[in-house]
Structure 1
Amino acid sequence: MLFGALLINSQKQSRSLVLLFAFQGCVCAFNLLEGLGFSSYLITPAFTLLYGPMIYFFTLSITGKQPFKTSHYAVHLIPAVISLAFTHYTQAIILLGSLSQLGYFYFAYGILKRYHKQLMHARSDAESLKLKWLIKALFIFAIIVVFDLLRMNVQPITPLDLKMHWYLLNEILLLLMFSFLLFHTIKNSFQFEPVTLSEESAAEQTDSADEQLAQQIFSTIDGLIINESLYRQPRLSLNDLANQTGLGSKEISWAINSTTGNNFCEYINQHRVNDVKREIEQDSPQKLSLIELAFQAGFNSKSTFNAVFKKETGLTPSQFKKQTQKN
């Protein structure tokens, strides 16, 4: 874990995870001291009010919504600091901390949903950039929180052996979750690209914009994409088209959305599917495999290709190929 933390410490959007690791280390240390009787005053209940903010700011940081700054945590530390004076009400503090964590997880989930929406409006490789692993982690964290809350509430009537084993299981689950976060943070850091808020609102202009102008812009963009086979670029983005045409990214997104009813990623993927379909129907002598045709058309993963192709045609690529050959 320490080696992994050193790897991501140089990445600005991942430093909040390093802080989360350090925080968990402090929690373990204080738990040990209190368990051995070295500390007569309880501190660890107040830590339950800090897990939520840590996960929330990690989510903000990894999506590029907010640069990591220690000052951003100040206001979120206040409840934990205040609770230090009332830790003798252990169960009440733990309950508040657990509810706080669930609340922060909910807001973090909302950030991820908005981020995914932005990606779909801004990039043709949005499906491969979605942070689905982080959504899974939030749900599992929420389950661990509820599980730990139950453990804390039955401690007074729990035998010592069961209490120790239950605590150990909880710590193992947390360790596995932190390892999961570390693995995916390192894995996805090389393809990470933040999406600006302006791109998110680009498709919201359709009501007040001129339909004819939208069709003119779309005709220009569509012709360029088809003639130059730009959809075959796996990482094509709105900014790439804006640089080539001189139009604004918001204008392009609006024109595509109002004319086709699809976001940018869906629109580009339609061209890619049509490209694969043409190649299959032409029965090219090159005899490329389906996955080779997919990569040639601009898809960058087999799973995305299969999912998009079935969504567009109602058939899997292999089913479409068999049906075409039969006809």
Structure 2
Amino acid sequence: MNTSEFNSFIVILIYGSLVLLSLLKLTNPLKVNRKANIWFGIFLFLWSTFWLDEVLLLITGSAIEFHSLLPVRFVQFLTPIVFYLSVLFYTNPSFTFKISGLKFLILPAAFLLCIILGQSGYEVPFENLSVILILIQALFYTGLSYITIRKHQRKIQQFSSNTEGINLNWLEYIILVLFMVNIIYVIYNLFYDPKSLNFFINTTFLLVIYFVAYYSLKQKEIYPLEERQRQELISIDEDSGDEEVRRKLIPDEELLKIKTQLEMMMETQKPYLDSELNLIKLAEMVSVSTHHLSYVINTGFEKNFFQYVNEFRVDYAKILLKDPNSKLSILGIAYESGFNSKTSFNTTFKKLTGQTPSEFKK
């Protein structure tokens, strides 16, 4: 099998994989992150159409310029927006569309006008302008999606003690890889024959798609399904641990009282050993609201919830690691200390102590 035939095989795999994954996300058999998965499924389907011309060529044996049809070009132009909407719903399942959101239709409207005028006798200038709009749209929503995910990663540390399954790292990696691949492709287009790069680009995209399939299908529900609890957590500011944005929610006397009560409970009841511990559970144990508890941890201890809980876990793990009679493995100690994976245990332990658990034990 030569390079051309192998590239054709990869194209078929890309298109088939994207369509299949799109259907899986739209049907959502696990019933998690419902709205986000619908938008992500639509994004995957739109993404698959970029290879449809090549697939039709392989099937029919003749070139079919499916992508040149006006409705197809316009719908494909919406792909970055649809991806951004999926990110919005992953990070905030209660997101609702508002009138102010109409500003996001400015670029699509400008693009539609360009391709209509381009087909009316002004092809060259408007075709060039439409390409520029495609690049602007892709870069703008890629950047916006990346910023939204980074904010989400800070927010979840305000209410979750184990963020590994809900931090959306896989979406962040997709953005970075696609961004780098597109830069390489644009540069190669300018100076070399772009056809010679098709094999590399398609192989990279296929690997990215399998990566997406693996992580998107195992993505957990990020926020609680119960509406009241979900709204409480969503309303917590991701930057509430910063001094300049911290507001005084309760008097200092009340803060000290809750702080003392929390310290005593953490020492005696050890709730941090529960790997599923979150702000809601801990607030119920202390009998205060989630906002007040978050404020006490941020202000009274100058830490976010994630840091506060995991420091107790690391201290507990140190005791187990020092015990010469312990028969637990490193993984066993991780689970015993409240961590839900060896990766999160190693990462958190090294961040707080400067050593891995294995190095500390030696």
The interval holding the TM-score normalised by the smaller chain is 0.7 to 0.9
The answer to whether the 8 Å contact 1:98/1:149 transfers is: no
2:218 is paired with a residue whose SS is helix
TM-score (norm 1): 0.82
| Structure 1 position 36 matched with structure 2 position 63 | yes
**Unaligned 5+ residue runs, structure 2?**
1-16, 29-33, 225-229
In structure 2, the residue matched to 1:85 is 116
2:27 is paired with a residue whose SS is coil
| Structure 1 position 177 matched with structure 2 position 177 | no
**Alignment partner for residue 21 of structure 1, among 44, 48, 52?**
44
Give the Cα–Cα distance (whole angstroms) in 1 for the partners of residues 25 and 73 of structure 2.
29
| Structure 1 position 117 matched with structure 2 position 154 | yes
Give the Cα–Cα distance (whole angstroms) in 1 for the partners of residues 79 and 67 of structure 2.
23
Equivalent runs, 1:263-282 vs 2, <5 Å: 263-282=304-323
In structure 2, give the amino acid aligned to 1:7: L
Give the Cα–Cα distance (whole angstroms) in 2 for the partners of residues 66 and 146 of structure 1.
34
Equivalent runs, 1:222-237 vs 2, <5 Å: 222-237=263-278
TM-score (norm 2): 0.74
In structure 1, give the amino acid aligned to 2:158: H
- 127-136 vs 168-177, greater mean Cα deviation: 168-177
In structure 1, the residue matched to 2:166 is 129
In structure 1, the residue matched to 2:236 is 199
Task: From the superposition, tell whether residues 99 and 151 of structure 1 become closer, same or farther in structure 2 (CA, over 3 Å).
Answer: farther
| Structure 1 position 298 matched with structure 2 position 338 | yes
Query: Residue deviations 1:115-137, cap 9 Å, x none?
Result: 11111001001244322221111
Segments of 4+ moved more than 6 angstroms: 31-35, 71-74
The answer to whether the 8 Å contact 1:27/1:47 transfers is: no
In structure 1, give the amino acid aligned to 2:88: L
In structure 1, give the amino acid aligned to 2:223: E
Structure showing greater relative contact order (alpha-carbon pairs closer than 8 Å, 6 or more residues apart): 1
Kindly state the Cα deviation for residue 153 of structure 1 after the two structures are TM-superposed: 5.0
In structure 2, the residue matched to 1:94 is 131
Kindly state the Cα deviation for residue 96 of structure 1 after the two structures are TM-superposed: 2.0
**Unaligned 5+ residue runs, structure 1?**
323-327
Give the Cα–Cα distance (whole angstroms) in 2 for the partners of residues 41 and 269 of structure 1.
54
Matched length: 313
Percent of matched pairs sharing the same residue = 19
**Alignment partner for residue 5 of structure 1, among 22, 29, 35?**
22
Kindly state the Cα deviation for residue 198 of structure 1 after the two structures are TM-superposed: 1.5
Give the Cα–Cα distance (whole angstroms) in 1 for the partners of residues 86 and 67 of structure 2.
33
2:207 is paired with a residue whose SS is helix
Kindly state the Cα deviation for residue 40 of structure 1 after the two structures are TM-superposed: 11
The answer to whether the 8 Å contact 2:317/2:337 transfers is: yes
Kindly state the Cα deviation for residue 206 of structure 1 after the two structures are TM-superposed: 4.0
